[in-house]
Amino acid sequence: MNNFERNFSEQELIRREKLKELQTAGQDPYKNTKWERTHKINELVVKFQEFTKPELAEMQQDQIVTAGRIRLFREAGKKAAFANIQDQDGQIQLYLRQDVVGEEKFEMVRNYDLGDIIGVKGKMMKTDHGEITIRVEEVELLTKALKPLPDKHAGLNDIEEQYRRRYVDLIVNPEKKEVFTKRSRIIRKIQEILDHNGYFEVETPILQSVRGGAAAKPFMTHYNALDNDFYLRIATELHLKRCIVGGFDGVYEIGRLFRNEGMDTRHNPEFTTIEIYVAYQDVYFIMDLNERIFRECAQAVNGTTKINYGGVDFDLGKPFKRWHMVDAVKEITGVDFWKDMSYDEAVKIAKEHNIKVEKHHFSIGHIINLFFEEFVEEKIVEPTFIFGHPKEISPLAKLNDKDPRFTDRYELFILGREYANAFSELNNPIDQFERFADQLKEAEFGNDEANDMDIDFIEALEYGLPPTVGIGIGIDRMVMFLTNSESIKDVLLFPQMKPRG
């Protein structure tokens, strides 16, 4: 039994009554299955905009067919009317006359509502004011809108409602579609660059039996058929490296990751990344590729490498800064972690700088990272590769040959935000086993973002992973940066929202 009740506004009740009248008259708008368009609206504007009013009036024209949502309607006396319709790419004006479309049809048109979707056939004309217009010869109601659009002046002011009802937001603010078209072009450009390099786009499992590939708290679900708990993936890394073990020279995956964390302007519990793995290359190769991806994507969507984000001007045509984490901490705080010191000495220095050291921060490497996050990260403005991460916070990265306290890893920061994480991959299965064991130790000490022991991955490494470099880039943040969008919710069509109260 369905006890769900809905309360309709006066406008909604009126629209439903109009629908009943249409259906009773045998004109159900929901029965229309196809309306073959000869042109989209922008195509008409581009094709006919340059002609004058007399030229269009004298021109031998084929009948055009198009369609769109009614955004504006105004009567011009009792026997004529103007309307504006909107499709994916633009709006155009319609001119309807009773003596052309017929008295009965004209009266029906006068009864249409804003938001209704109509199909029209006609010829192109210009008004006395020079506005490109369709002189309508035939009109058909294709879909009846049972909810009214927000007031054109007030709009959809509640930002939460804009995100929750994105479909309405895109109707009343069609310019917002530009962000999502740019998002698509950014992804296509990345694929173009990588495909040109000969790398293969692959797909890996979303449901995984162990958590790994990143430091994050996962979502859990239960797989009934196996009577086992599984995790929604927090990274694609371990499976992509299995592909390299299997013989691919370069692979990448663009897909959703899931992390059971908070929501804010930079975080959504499900988000899109690209991870790329290339055999026989190192972290410096991937730095260059990282720069190229940002530079060429900026050019592809904005026509220039110079952009403004958050009121700050950037030129992605310039080389990105490369800064060792220890040097960065030393420059900002004066603390020199290059010096030999004991763990107790490092803890003392941390306490002097009001840094809280948890039980799972059991090494100097952890404390270096705490200093970086506390004092350095937010001060970075220009695109900067922070490299040389301590091994304790990089369980999957290869140790640096010159100083094994650190790894061949970097993160890309811009304006205090992380955009990419990359490293030369650890391919020593014995070392990898020990690092996973350290992660289990961190979990025992209360780190709920620690990795599990992935024995299958260890066994894959035992078959031999060639020297390999990998990178993960946050697509959502990259789109935010290249489109000057303030919140991650601005670049997600349907961001995660709290349930309606």
Distance between CA atoms of residues 201 and 212, nearest Å: 21
- The predicted pLDDT at position 154 comes to 57
Residue 152 φ/ψ, nearest 5 degrees: -65, -25
pLDDT digits (tens, 9 = 90+) for 142-174: 999 999 998 765 556 778 888 989 999 999 999
* Averaged pLDDT, 406-434: 95
pTM: 0.89
What pLDDT score was predicted for residue 313?
Answer: 98
pLDDT at 1 over 50: no
Looking at the fold, whether 52 and 196 belong to one and the same domain comes out as no
Say yes or no to pLDDT of 436 above 70: yes
**Do the domain assignments include residue 347?**
no
- Domain interval for residue 115: 10-149
- Does 228 lie in the same domain as 312? yes
Please indicate, yes or no, whether residues 312 and 190 belong to a single structural domain of this protein.
yes
pLDDT in tens, 471-497: 999 999 999 999 999 999 999 999 988
pLDDT at residue number 153: 56
Q: Considering the domain boundaries, does residue 445 fall inside one?
A: yes
Question: How would you classify residue 247: left for phi > 0, otherwise alpha for psi between -120 and 50, otherwise beta?
Answer: left
- Are 123 and 209 in the same domain? no
Per-residue pLDDT reduced to its tens digit, 119-135: 999 999 999 999 999 99
**In angstroms, what CA-CA distances link 211 with 225, 245, 439?**
20, 20, 11
- Name residue, tokens 């960065």: 328
Residue 130 shares a structural domain with residue 183: no
Query: Within this chain, do residues 132 and 60 fall inside the same structural domain, yes or no?
Result: yes
Strands 270-279 and 250-258 turn out to be: antiparallel
Confidence of residue 3 (pLDDT cuts 50, 70, 90): low
> What secondary structure does DSSP assign to 396-444, as a single string?
TBPBPSS-TTBBSEEEEEETTEEEEEEEEBP--HHHHHHHHHHHHHHHH
Classify residue 285 as exposed, middle or buried by CB count within 10 Å of its CB (0-12, 13-18, 19+): middle
Rounded Cα distance between 412 and 40, Å, is 41
What is the CATH number for 106? 2.40.50.140
Q: How many degrees, rounded to 5, is the angle at CA 341 between CA 339 and CA 346? A: 110
pLDDT of residue 352: 96
Q: Are residues 191 and 138 in the same domain?
A: no
pLDDT above 70 covers a percentage of the chain that reads 98
Query: What is the tens place of the pLDDT at every residue in 168-222?
Result: 999 999 999 999 999 999 999 999 999 999 999 999 999 998 887 777 889 999 9
Please check whether residue 477 lies inside any domain of the structure. Answer: yes
Residue 286 sits in the same domain as residue 433: yes
- Same domain (yes/no): 260, 393: yes
Other C-beta atoms within 10 Å of 238: how many?
21
Average confidence score pLDDT of the chain: 93
Predicted confidence at residue 119, as pLDDT, reads 97
Is residue 221 located within the same domain as residue 265? yes
Taking residues 72-80, report their average pLDDT: 93
Question: How many domains, in total, are found in the chain?
Answer: 2
Question: Is 254 domain-assigned?
Answer: yes
Is 343 part of any domain?
Answer: no
What are the pLDDT digits (tens) for 297-343? 999 999 999 999 999 999 999 999 999 999 999 999 999 999 999 99
11 or 213, which is more confident: 11
**pLDDT above 70: residue 427:** yes
CATH number at residue 224: 3.30.930.10
Q: Is residue 2 part of a domain?
A: no
Closest CA to 472 of 235, 270, 251, 243: 235
Is 201 found in the same domain as 135? Answer: no
Could you tell me if 99 and 185 lie in one domain? no
Quick check: is 348 in a domain?
no
pLDDT at 5: 82
Beta bridge partners, 337, equal: none
Mean pLDDT of 360-365: 92
In this prediction, what percent of the chain has a pLDDT beyond 90?
82
- Between strands 132-143 and 91-97, the pairing is parallel
Q: Is residue 162 part of a domain?
A: no
Region 343-369: what's the mean pLDDT? Answer: 95
The domain boundary residue, chosen from 104, 132, 149: 149
pLDDT at 447 > cutoff 70: yes
